[in-house]
Structure 1
Amino acid sequence: MKVAVVGAWHVHTKEYAEAIKNNPHTELACVWDSDRERGEAFAKEFGIPFSAELETIWSDPSIAGVQITTATCEHHDVLIAAAKAGKHIFTEKVLAFTNEEAKEIADAVRASGVKFTISYPHKTWPTLLGAKQLVESGKLGEITYARVRDAHNGSTGDWLPPHFYDASQTGGGAMIDLGAHPMYTLNWFMGEPKSVVSMFTQVTNRGVEDNAVSVIEFANGAIGVSETGFVTTGMPYVLEMSGTQGSLMVHNDILEYCCEETDNKLVEKTDLPNALPLPVDAWIDAVVNGGEAPNGIDDAVALTKFMVGAYESFKTGKRYCF
């Protein structure tokens, strides 16, 4: 199928476009961007046409799908237009700035019947799939605490693009960007949130938070901690989970756990599941061969809900109740 790249704004735009270009079932049709210079540069690099008007993409029946990697502030209008045009959608996180916008997008996607995937790549990792198996097996008992830390040195290393610090485009800083991974992981493992309290700070003083923590209360009394930042070097990812009968930890691509069957000693889990296809490839397969696309619109709406709560807590300095 032909796929149009809608937006060359995101840092992962080229990564997804390469995946579409290299997939035997797809080809890149064209690119549009609200910044013509940026869009034309991308088109030249990938050897595809630049489309100056979005309507050209929406009205082209040969284009079956779209990769939406615009600025987040453009998601609402672009995603709704794509759904109404009947284009299958692969998009980057987050879905929208508000719950109201997320609902409007979701309504359009559901009404259109298109295949929709939002990029949650951590859910494809063998270590996290193995952790999910352990939790669902009941060996750890009832989960009472989870901490997910995902951080890098994008600010201190000065390699993130300047527009990633423009809150009008991004909606925030580290939490709404990189912090999406801990948030959707906590949702995946822990379910619906009850309340959240946030602490965001600025280390490099670029106008948005680059060091952030949100503490989330879940319905059963469990606590989840979402940690992220653009000012960390080394140990970029950690997952810790504790239950009434055991615990686990993921770090450096290793999953360790302890419970009754290990005599409560921490051991490495070596029989990990195979990695799942990356979301963009799984989306292509769902469109071309049928089946359910992963990380659908309900998952996308849920992430927006977590983020809205996290930012409202920070802005007000109070606990936010969902």
Structure 2
Amino acid sequence: MNVAMLSRWHVHANDYAREAMANPDIEIKLVWDEEPERGRQWASELGVPFEGNLDAVLSNPDIEGVIIDTPTYMHKQVMLEAAKHKKHIFSEKVLTFTIKECEEIFSAVDENEVHLMLSLKRLSDDYYLYAQKAVKEGLLGRLNLVRCRLAHTMGLPLEGKPYGKLPPYFFDPELCGGGALMDLGAHPIYLTNRFAGEPKGVYARLQATLGHRVDDNSAVLVDYSSGVLGIIEAGFSSNDSFRLELHGTDGQIIIEKGGLKIKSIHVQDGQWTTPAELPAKLPSAMEQWVKQIKDGTEPAITREDMWRLTQINEAALVSHREGRRVELADYGGAV
């Protein structure tokens, strides 16, 4: 499949280019960027032509798909145009800012019979698959709380760099839609949603402790129809951490960067134990995208994942701004 790389704006753009080049079913043919000089440099590095006109890229009959790393505010328009030109779409998270825009994108994708994939990469990881299986098998009894935290220090100021190791534009709400929650928080949001089910309400505090215009230290409390409480945390200004906790009537699972452990009345006499092995990882989001295009394989990452992620983000911004719990019935029902 011949693809065009659309923008090097996001910090993961290089990662997706490398993954595409390593995939035997993908060939990068063109680069476009909303900043032409950056795009020309990237095209030179990749050894492909640069095209400064987005319509020319999307009208090119040799291009079958696009990999999008534009500023988030551009996602909707770029995706609608790509779908109209019958191009398959792979994108960095998040999909867009509102569920209304999500639904516009889904409609355009369906109308033009192309495939859409969002990089919700942790849904392919072995620790997630183990935890999901353990919950399904009842090892934790009735699940009642999920806590997921993802944070790093890349936003902390350095000498001569008030935005730390992150690009300054990551702190621009017009470009990004938000800060730590919108970016890093995407992973805790979609993971928590997967375990807990349909969310009912959101209460969020999005703190800008560094004094920028977006949050760098955020916490969200979500209550779900299942009775599970979700605690979602994200930060650009905390020591590096990833922690996923699942608590139930019969046990708990704790997952950190260093590994996974389970304590359950159904396992090892209720003592903390580390599983001897974890399930095999699923194909990456990009691999799932290609497989769906090539042979119709249904991806593990779903539209509901994308839609629920957007729903929580949209409601969290309202909750913080208005200082109240937001009922998600006000932000769409089931996808």
TM-score normalised per structure 1: 0.96
- The yes-or-no answer on 1:251 pairing with 2:284 is no
Tell me, in whole angstroms, the C-alpha distance in 2 between the residues paired with 1:253 and 1:128: 14
Tell me by how many angstroms 1:253 deviates: 4.3
AA aligned opposite 2:47? G
AA aligned opposite 2:288? A
Tell me, in whole angstroms, the C-alpha distance in 2 between the residues paired with 1:264 and 1:294: 32
- The yes-or-no answer on 1:231 pairing with 2:237 is yes
The structure-2 alpha-carbon separation of the partners of 1:247 and 1:253, relative to structure 1 and needing over 3 Å to count, comes to same
AA aligned opposite 2:85? A
Tell me, in whole angstroms, the C-alpha distance in 2 between the residues paired with 1:62 and 1:183: 37
Tell me by how many angstroms 1:51 deviates: 1.0
CA RMSD in angstroms, aligned pairs only:
1.3
Cross-structure match for 1:169 = 175
**Structure 2: 5+ residue runs without aligned partners?**
158-163, 329-335
Is contact 1:199–1:314 with CA below 8 Å preserved after alignment? Answer: yes
AA aligned opposite 1:97? F
Return the match for 1:284 from 290, 297, 304.
290
Is contact 2:117–2:289 with CA below 8 Å preserved after alignment? Answer: yes
AA aligned opposite 1:140? L
Cross-structure match for 1:13 = 13
Cross-structure match for 1:22 = 22
Tell me, in whole angstroms, the C-alpha distance in 1 between the residues paired with 2:215 and 2:56: 38
Q: Give 3-state SS (helix, strand or coil) of 1:204's partner.
A: coil
- The yes-or-no answer on 1:299 pairing with 2:305 is yes
- The yes-or-no answer on 1:141 pairing with 2:141 is yes
Cross-structure match for 2:153 = 153
Cross-structure match for 1:122 = 122
Q: Give 3-state SS (helix, strand or coil) of 1:268's partner.
A: coil
Is contact 1:94–1:176 with CA below 8 Å preserved after alignment? Answer: yes
**Structure 1: 5+ residue runs without aligned partners?**
none
**Equivalent residues in 2 for 1:144-223 (5 A)?**
144-156=144-156, 158-223=164-229
Tell me by how many angstroms 1:40 deviates: 1.4
Q: Which moved more, 1:254-263 or 1:215-224?
A: 254-263
Tell me, in whole angstroms, the C-alpha distance in 2 between the residues paired with 1:87 and 1:298: 21
Tell me by how many angstroms 1:206 deviates: 2.0
Q: Give 3-state SS (helix, strand or coil) of 2:310's partner.
A: helix
Tell me, in whole angstroms, the C-alpha distance in 1 between the residues paired with 2:132 and 2:239: 27
AA aligned opposite 1:194? K
Is contact 1:117–1:294 with CA below 8 Å preserved after alignment? Answer: no
Instruction: Give the number of aligned pairs.
Output: 321
Deviations 1:280-313 (A, max 9, x none): 1221232234312342333212211111111110
Tell me, in whole angstroms, the C-alpha distance in 2 between the residues paired with 1:20 and 1:294: 19
Return the match for 1:240 from 242, 245, 266.
245
Tell me, in whole angstroms, the C-alpha distance in 2 between the residues paired with 1:288 and 1:8: 26
Tell me by how many angstroms 1:110 deviates: 1.9
Tell me by how many angstroms 1:117 deviates: 1.0
Tell me, in whole angstroms, the C-alpha distance in 2 between the residues paired with 1:166 and 1:272: 40
Tell me, in whole angstroms, the C-alpha distance in 2 between the residues paired with 1:47 and 1:293: 31
Is contact 1:25–1:288 with CA below 8 Å preserved after alignment? Answer: no
TM-score normalised per structure 2: 0.93
Tell me, in whole angstroms, the C-alpha distance in 1 between the residues paired with 2:324 and 2:255: 31
**Equivalent residues in 2 for 1:76-91 (5 A)?**
76-91=76-91
Is contact 2:253–2:262 with CA below 8 Å preserved after alignment? Answer: yes
Q: Give 3-state SS (helix, strand or coil) of 1:63's partner.
A: coil
AA aligned opposite 1:143? L
Tell me by how many angstroms 1:146 deviates: 0.4
Is contact 1:184–1:303 with CA below 8 Å preserved after alignment? Answer: yes
Tell me, in whole angstroms, the C-alpha distance in 2 between the residues paired with 1:171 and 1:100: 15
Q: Give 3-state SS (helix, strand or coil) of 1:130's partner.
A: helix
Q: Give 3-state SS (helix, strand or coil) of 2:146's partner.
A: strand
- The yes-or-no answer on 1:47 pairing with 2:47 is yes
Q: Give 3-state SS (helix, strand or coil) of 2:64's partner.
A: strand
AA aligned opposite 1:256? K
